[in-house]
Structure 1
Amino acid sequence: MGKGFYISKPLGFVLFGLGVGAVLTIFALSVVYSQEKRKNEVNARDGTRMVTTAAPHSTSAPSNEPWDKYRLPDTLLPAYYNVTLWPRLVPDEQGMYIFTGKSGVALTCVKETNLIIIHSNELNFTLTSEMHHAKLAGLGGTSAPVILKTWFQIQTQFMVILLKDNLQVGKSYWLYMEFRGELSDDLGGFYRSQYTENGVKKVVATTQMQPTAARNAFPCFDEPSMKAVFHLTLLHPPGTVALANDIFIRHSCSDFPLDTENVTIDDQEVLQTRFEPTEKMSTYLLAFVISEFTNLRSPSEANVLIRIWGRREAIESGQGDYALSVTFPILKYLENYYNTTYPLSKSDQVALPDFAAGAMENWGLVTYREQSLFYDPKVSSNEDKEWVVTVITHELAHMWFGNLVTMRWWNDLWLNEGFASYVSYLGADYAEPTWNIKDLMVLQQVQRAFGVDALVSSHPLSSREDEVITPDQIDQLFDTITYSKGAAVLRMLSEFLTESAFAKGLHNYLHEYAYSNTVYTDLWKKLQEVNSSIQLPASINEIMNRWILQMGFPVVTINTRTGIISQQHFLIHPDAVVDKPSDYNYEWFVPITWMKSGSNMGQHWLLTKTASYEPMKTDTDWLLANLNVTGYYRVNYDPQNWERLLTQLTADHKIIPVLNRGQIIDDAFNLARAQIINITLALRTTKYLYEEKEYIPWESAIRNFEYFFLMFDRTEVYGPLQTYLQRKVKPLFDHFKVITSNWTRKPPRYMDQYNQINAVSMACKTGVKGCSELTRMWYRQWMKNPDSNPIPTNLKITVYCNAIAAGGVEEWDFGWQMFKNSTIAAEAEKLLYGLSCTKEPWLLNRYLEFTIEPNLVRKQDVAFAIVYISGNVIGQPLVWDFVRANWEHLTKDYDDGSFFFGRLIRGITRKFSTEFDLQQLQRFKEDIAASSFSFGTQAIEQAIEQTKANIKWVSENKVQVMNWLIEQSA
């Protein structure tokens, strides 16, 4: 998953209207960078002088020197590294956690040069001689030139080594360095995580290298194409276990590798673990963990050693059992899917108490948030279980696609992450075949991508390499477009090629480019070779470039009276100006699948702006396009066909496929927001919902009504809106009451278990009789017996929110105590959300103060908690005041760059829809510009754009919506 998206369901609801993605989910998610780091000039422990030397000229002046460019020169290639690292898991005299290291790299000269430029960031180096931070020797009898001087180019994060003479082309050299760094808690590079077990604080040393943080752990050529073999040695305290990408393990009860030994260094007894050399791989996939964790493992007869690592309490209570049970089947599924054997001998998966992303696909040593790997059936929900199996599949899919074959540069990140996001549903469907989980791609990936890709601030999936240069630019690629749109367009490609042909092309791609790097067109070539017999209107390259190299997507309009079909670039804000040129003029090759009145079906390619297609012409039948939403586009129809579809929904909605019922609702609401159809037509697509029992249509409707709640929950529209939805959801609430025997058992179908959550949540939100009483009853029972939670696992987040909202300080304090006591990450996250629902302003203010106390709320959860509180109509103005008042503090203590502040700003301003809101936001922008803190400025600009659009939408639709809702109540 890489930096990944971590998106909880409540946050997904909160942010969906903005189109700024989950997860997130999801997904996901990100790597966190410290902007201000403490620098040590003196090592107090061993007296070694440490320096950070500035460049020999001003970095502010324009320069064409190679060290002033962010990309490595093409003069040297690494072959292998020897790296020894010793993290201290206790603070030194200055209260710092440090690590020391020694590293050597064998490099080959491919172009004559007298410079060695290697990445290094936030490391202090031992001087080997005056102004020298490194030693250089020749290999294979080659003599090495003398080092004249070394310095650090801070902006481009390089160590620069100037040599007296040139290196010889074709010859190899050995570069050796010793260094010292901080094992900080910033969640990036080589960092520390901590937890408490039996009242004792435990410290974990772990890593997050993607995308550009391996250089924070040791000097390296930190670009994806600079693949090498890594020989790693870790020094660690007795009682701890060291893990890395590769390791030679005894197949016995011992957890230690054969070459772990006790050594004494500087009068300290430590364990020294040497690891087997890795496969040839990129630096961002390197990982190591030192901890007191324990593990579950696969049976000894398995041909791949699989282990699930985590806190002893979590492992011994069975929280890793589900992950262990699905990992081997998923690995076997992927081996069959790729027709390629798993390339490693072991698969370690580690749950970390502190982790910024959802998970990270380090080769052979995957790291996770605890919530992404651990599952407890007594406490966790279906959503938690689904999250675990899809994240595991996502990361294991990378073992081949991304790790074995790697993108040449970050501009093709979308192929790595989009592909893994797509395949995660295939593997999860294999592991849990009764769930029908592949259908959820439409909600979780396609619709999520639509929300962001309909903005002028979107971007193409792939760009030129020279447009993605700096670490910040690379960071910004880890977004909804990369993950969700990438998955959506690859799903579309697989559909029109067929899944079997798609998989065959993947096998050939992996076979030819194993242990090397590619660009996305290499995949197109392999797919074209195995699909030469399939009738396509153009080559795969020609078709897909229109989806890859230009942002956005089309809305296809079908006129069933004339048979005319057309396409146009869909923008959610119709007055937005697209200032990004496209070589394809924002036209796409669109694969249109369609059906008439539930029987006749067909497929047609739309290759131009407008075309005529006689089979789509009809006077009596309804026509439905984009069957099962396999294509990445929205659909509009002539008014007559819209009416026929609405009539069919009312008469017998089951004739229309369930995915398309969700599509009709989602397309209609978004077409209305774009002023392509009238808002009342969109609302009419929901009139039939009192008969609907399926999850996907209901989920589509609820997500779209969330925008109405955001815009109208402080206006007179709120009452009629609540009344309308109450009438629609009450039959659903009653339905689930019956099939669960008065809420005493789970619905039998997986999708019904999801829709039960919607039924209870919406029933409580709209005031359906009996709902609030039900949630309060469960919560009170729990308060009476904290050791026995009676609340159904799937309904916990809804019950926590509604019961705390209906209660007072006693209910809130109980929830807070349960949050602090929770040893299960999924449970803690639900309480984190539930606590934000209170209607007491002073409790919300207290909660806000708690969020910036690291001992109370983990840093990885701070932005989520604040955004949750802002989703409360009472909490929103409190959050806005709090963030402005504490901006400097947040900047200093949670300085992980644009991702944290982007998520925060977009989340807390999503309700802004008045001129006063806009004025405050513009003033905040001015205050930030006048200060020394630049974080979040881009997000503020986007929030201003969204606020203006909200103001316009409310002014144009408020009266219409109000009148229509009142009519429905008459």
Structure 2
Amino acid sequence: MRQVSPINYQIEFEPNFDNFTFRGSEKIAIKVSSPTNKITLHAAEIEIKQCSISWNNKIIKTRAIVNEKTEEITLVLAQKINGNATISIDFIGQLNDKLVGFYRSKYKFNGKEKYLATTQFEAADARRAFPCWDEPEAKATFDVSLLVNKNHTAISNMPVISKRNIGKKTLYHFDTTPIMSTYLLYLAVGEFESISTKSGKTLIRVITTKGKISQGRLSLEFTKQFLSYFEKYFKIAYPLPKLDMIAIPDFASGAMENWGAITFRETILLYDPKTSSTETKQHIAEVIAHEIAHQWFGNLVTMKWWNDLWLNESFATFMATKAVDALYPEWDFWDQFLISEMTGGLSLDSLKSSHPIDVPVKSPADVRQIFDEISYNKGGCVLMMLENFIGPDNFRKGLYSYLKKHEYANATTEDLWDSLGSASRQPVRQMMNTWVRQVGYPVIKVKAENSRLKLTQSRFLLESNGKSKTGKWIIPLSVRTKDRTVTKLMKGPVTIPHKSGWFKVNDGQKGFYRVKYDNNALDELGIQVEDKTISNVDRWSIHHDLVALCLSKQISFREYLDFVRHYENEDDYVVLSDIISSLNFFYILSSGEAFWDEIKEFNLDFFNKIFVKLGWDKSEGERSTVALLRGQVISSLGRLKDKDIVKEAQARFANLLKTGKLEPDLRGPVYSVISWNGDASTYQKILSLYRKAPTQEEMVRLLSTLANFQDKKLLSKTLAFTLSKEVRTQNLFQPIARMVTNPQGKELVWPWIKQNWRGIVTRFGVGNPLLNRIVGSVSIESSMEKEREIKKFFTKHHVPGTEMKLAQTLERIRINSNFIETTRKELS
């Protein structure tokens, strides 16, 4: 039990847009469990103007000692206190431009520059807005007031209960929040407009800056649908009277689940039927579902400490897919889950520099590093595996028990295992601790001999030197043969009777592991792939595992390409998307090698066979995933300079310039093709479209396009442009991510990062999650010399919170280098 605990915060903020500061005053009702004359709170980048403590009807003289390094203030009291007391603090803070804490966002309306103020407090940035106990377990209630200019509107977690004019300003007072963590508090001030609807008694609003509200109608409908879905699924009513969905022009993350006031990047909440793609529509649905799921997992029940971040993010990831699939089954969202979640989870967790799902966290810098593919993707995948193991009904009962038992409080991973284990009467804790407490995942090696299948497990690593921890998992094993499916818990080596014919391990890809077959078994599966006698998901998993086995040098690149030919008549989106992505990766990685042309010819042949079936234009009644596949194939063929594709893309782009019309799903692919094959004149046209783009989605699309050109002078121009005032900080990473996949551009990125590192850090601010993306962008490099250079640079230019990403980046470079060296020998 903590010595001093907050009970309630009464806080008033007054933002000043003239000098980008804010004034704050707070009264914190506290409970002191044992006598003390020292109270320590979190505070960062805040100037304390006055502080005092009221106890037993008297004011205790108080002195504040600030520790900038630990982001704390210690209040030293003239005497010891015990029991209930109230801390009063007046302070001043900065409306910063770093996208964390209480920050400002700039946008234009009718050609005029405007500002709004908004907050991003997760993980540990509420302390930049007000002194507080900035930890998940220090839950309290909040009474928020905002004193704002009369032309501004104020928003917080709860509804407004009073408004009154004070001189030239308006004081908004909001209702008391439920008991909750500081990172979920929300404040916003600006010129907003909204549309609303109701779901039961809950008021739902979509809120935007002026002029954009018409683009919020789709999100309003999604919000109503998903809120209703989760209330029925969890059998627990959404506990707040309102739910705001707020589009913010500048936002570091994709979205944030502030209780009752969820914030989003504009690209993830606003939808324009004229320019928004199918991919954007589905992404909006998925993120809205993810953030609404947090209102239960994270907000109603919160992890005790950040080591259990996965209790928030993995569940929101898993539940979002469940919700979207339930409401839009035609989108094949569980299939897409393999691309969006399992791919990233398996990839990162195949590194020695990965981390367990339940990971030790000591500082804010540690917290920021684990918002990654382990906490989101791997966690979501192991939950899918667990639900499949104990059954959907038991899973749902266990979740209900967990949420009811810990509502408005904190919980740990063990609490969840207890609830799910009780509901299912299965060894949930024993099994799942092998997945969340240790790093990595297994590869199952299977051999057929003497009418038996012999299966063994070991840790899968892309770079293995025999020194890493091996690991041992309790695996819900599923093996399908022609006439039956065998399931069992695999703790050690397993033997299964099997007479002859094909077999597929990890049936339906419910398990978070890879499989390595011997050559005979793989040949048999190749026939099943061609005949499509196994599911699309199983066809996906066979290919996906082969890519990893190839990168880890367990099969040759030639063996991989030979097996891909089994997919030449494939027509499924999830399977083909994985193959296209992999072939493109190998093509980019091999640029400049003697065997580059061989890969190019292979890819051209394979992609054209897909395109012939798709064509340029959608057919009536086609599935939405066909549009996604079409865009991927067209972009890929354009990068390979297919003459017919280039010619048609140029014609459609010319028509866009003339009429303004271009199918939304073709905008990205057409821009990609014409830029890859374009000149300085084309560059200027793209830049002009960027400056006139009507939506953030279109701006990001065009900004990325500027990284596609093959002229290095134009690419250098793009890199310089990304640091200009014309590019929002949140979007700076977009052209970098595209340029590292450009053979002509990838060698420019690292020198540019080195040269501009100080400016990049200054612009983002230490601790900004976007900084890790910049560090990770160079992982496409494939030279050991470059690995040493990058390592040496960051040793001299260390930034806290980037250590884990740097280690992962260096490891990926070594993996790429080893692959290139091995393939060079193989194909010479």
- TM class, shorter-length: over 0.9
Structure 2 residue corresponding to 1:557, chosen from 445, 470, 473: 445
1:878 aligns with 2:748: yes
Distance 1:576 1:205 in 2: 52
Q: TM-score, normalised by structure 1?
A: 0.83
Equivalent residue for 1:21? none
CA distance in 1, matches of 2:763, 2:312: 32
Check the 8 A contact 2:365/2:801 in 1, yes or no.
Answer: no
**Could you say which residue in structure 2 is the equivalent of 1:862?**
732
1:158 equivalent in alignment to 2:72 = yes
User: Which residue among 717, 720, 731 is the counterpart of 2:595?
Assistant: 717
1:105-184 to structure 2, matched below 5 A, reads 105-127=28-50, 134-138=51-55, 142-143=56-57, 146-147=60-61, 149-168=63-82, 171-184=83-96
Conserved? CA contact 2:690–2:702, under 8 Å: yes
| Pairing 1:888–2:758 present | yes
Alignment partner for residue 502 of structure 1, among 395, 420, 439? 395
Q: 1:569 to 1:398 in 2, by over 3 A?
A: same
Distance 2:642 2:423 in 1: 56
Distance 1:931 1:348 in 2: 41
Say whether residues 1:605 and 2:489 are aligned partners. yes
Please, which moves more after superposition, 351-360 or 567-576? 567-576
Question: What secondary structure, in the 3-state scheme, does the structure 1 residue paired with 2:91 have?
Answer: strand
Q: Does the CA contact (< 8 Å) of 1:119 and 1:220 recur in 2?
A: yes
Aligned partners of 1:937 and 1:705: how far apart in 2?
A: 30
Match of residue 308 from structure 1: 206
Alignment-mate amino acid for residue 323 of structure 1: S
**TM-score, normalization: structure 2?**
0.96
Tell me if structure 2 keeps the 8 A contact 1:421–1:487.
yes
Separation of aligned partners in 2, 1:630 and 1:174: 53
Given the alignment of the two structures, is residue 753 of structure 1 paired with residue 753 of structure 2, yes or no? no
Secondary structure at 2:144's aligned position in 1? strand
Within 5 A, what are the aligned runs for 1:374-773? 374-463=270-359, 467-532=360-425, 536=426, 539-561=427-449, 562-575=452-465, 577-578=467-468, 586-597=471-482, 599-608=483-492, 610-614=493-497, 617-619=498-500, 621-650=501-530, 652=531, 654-737=532-615, 743=617, 745=619, 748-773=622-647
Amino acid in the other structure paired with 2:539: R
Shift of 1:794: 1.4
Q: Which amino acid counterpart does residue 572 of structure 1 have in structure 2?
A: L
Give secondary structure in 2 for the equivalent of 1:115: strand
Deviations 1:192-232 (A, max 9, x none): 00100001111111000101111111111111111111000
Q: How does 1:259-270 map to 2 (within 5 A)?
A: 259-264=162-167, 269-270=168-169
Determine if the alignment matches structure 1 residue 789 to structure 2 residue 667: no
1:148 deviates by 5.4
Q: Which one-letter code corresponds to 2:517 in the other structure?
A: Y
> Do the aligned partners of residues 279 and 373 (structure 1) sit closer, same or farther apart at CA in structure 2, a change above 3 Å counting?
same
> Following TM superposition, by how much is the alpha carbon of 1:444 offset from its aligned partner in structure 2, in angstroms?
1.1
| Paired letter, 1:782 | L
Contact 1:921 1:940 in 2 (8 A): no
C-alpha contact (below 8 Å) 1:74/1:111 kept by paired residues: no
CA contact (8 A) 1:746 1:753 kept: no
3-state DSSP of counterpart to 1:274: strand
Q: Cα–Cα, structure 1 residues 148 and 649, in superposed 2: closer, same or farther, change >3 Å? A: closer
Instruction: Report the counterpart of residue 289 of structure 1 in structure 2.
Output: 188
**Is the Cα contact below 8 Å between 2:766 and 2:800 reproduced in 1?**
no
Letter in 1 for 2:632: N
- Tell me how far apart the structure 1 counterparts of residues 513 and 798 of structure 2 sit (CA, whole Å): 43
Post-superposition Cα deviations, 1:318-369, rounded to whole Å, max 9, x if no partner, equal: 2101001111111111011101111111100100000000000000000000
1:767 Cα deviation from its structure 2 partner: 4.2
User: What secondary structure, in the 3-state scheme, does the structure 1 residue paired with 2:739 have?
Assistant: helix
Could you tell me which residue of structure 2 aligns to residue 356 of structure 1?
252
Query: Is the CA contact (8 Å cut-off) linking 2:95 and 2:102 kept in structure 1?
Result: yes
**Offset at 1:403?**
0.3
> What is the letter of the counterpart of residue 223 of structure 1?
E
Q: Secondary structure of the equivalent of 1:857?
A: coil
Amino acid at match of 1:905: V
1:799 equivalent in alignment to 2:670: yes
Provide the residue aligned with 1:86 in structure 2.
14
1:930 Cα offset (Å): 4.2
Q: CA RMSD in A?
A: 1.9
Q: CA deviation at 1:151?
A: 0.5
Give a deviation string over 1:85-121, Cα, whole Å, max 9, x none. Answer: 0001223xxxxx1000100100001233221111111
Q: Which residue of 1 aligns with 2:172?
A: 273
Determine which structure has greater relative contact order: mean sequence separation of CA pairs < 8 Å that are 6+ residues apart, divided by chain length.
Answer: 1
Residue 913 of structure 1 is matched in structure 2 by: 782
In structure 2, what is the equivalent of residue 46 of structure 1? none
Task: Identify the residue that residue 10 of structure 1 maps to in structure 2.
Answer: none
Structure 2 CA distance for aligned equivalents of residues 228 and 857 of structure 1: 39
Q: CA deviation at 1:902?
A: 2.8
Residue by residue over 1:585-624, the C-alpha shift from the partner in whole angstroms, topping out at 9 and shown as x without a partner, is: 6111111112113x4222122111x12222xx233x1001
2:147 aligned with 1:235 = yes
Matched residue, 1:75: 3
Tell me which residue corresponds to 2:816. 950
**Secondary structure of the equivalent of 1:473?**
helix
2:751 aligns to what SS in structure 1? helix
Identity of counterpart residues, as a percentage? 28
Cα deviation, residue 819, structure 1: 1.2
Q: Deviations over 1:639-698 (max 9, x none)?
A: 211111112323x1x211001111110101212222333433322221023211111111
| Structure with the larger strand share | 2
**Residue 890 of structure 1: CA displacement?**
1.9
Q: Is the 8 A contact 2:349 2:355 kept in 1?
A: yes
Q: Do the aligned partners of residues 905 and 932 (structure 1) sit closer, same or farther apart at CA in structure 2, a change above 3 Å counting?
A: closer
1:456 Cα deviation after fit:
0.3
Q: Which amino acid aligns with 1:398?
A: H
One-letter identity of the residue aligned with 2:35: E
| In 2: Cα distance, 1:172 partner to 1:216 partner | 26
Match of 1:321 in 2: 217
1:549-602 alpha-carbon deviations (Å, 9 max, x no partner): 001000111212232111000001132631xx6xxx6111111112113x4222
The match for 1:838 is 709
Inter-CA distance 747–840: structure 2 relative to 1 (3 Å threshold):
farther
Cα distance in 2 for partners of 1:224, 1:944 equals: 33
3-state SS of 1:111 partner? strand
Task: Identify the range of structure 1 (708-717 vs 181-190) with the bigger mean alpha-carbon deviation.
Answer: 708-717
The Cα of 1:746 is off from its aligned counterpart by 6.4
CA spacing shift, 1:590–1:937, aligned 2, 3 Å? closer
Q: Is the 8 A contact 2:690 2:703 kept in 1?
A: yes
Judge conservation of contact 2:98–2:763 (CA < 8 Å) in 1. Answer: no
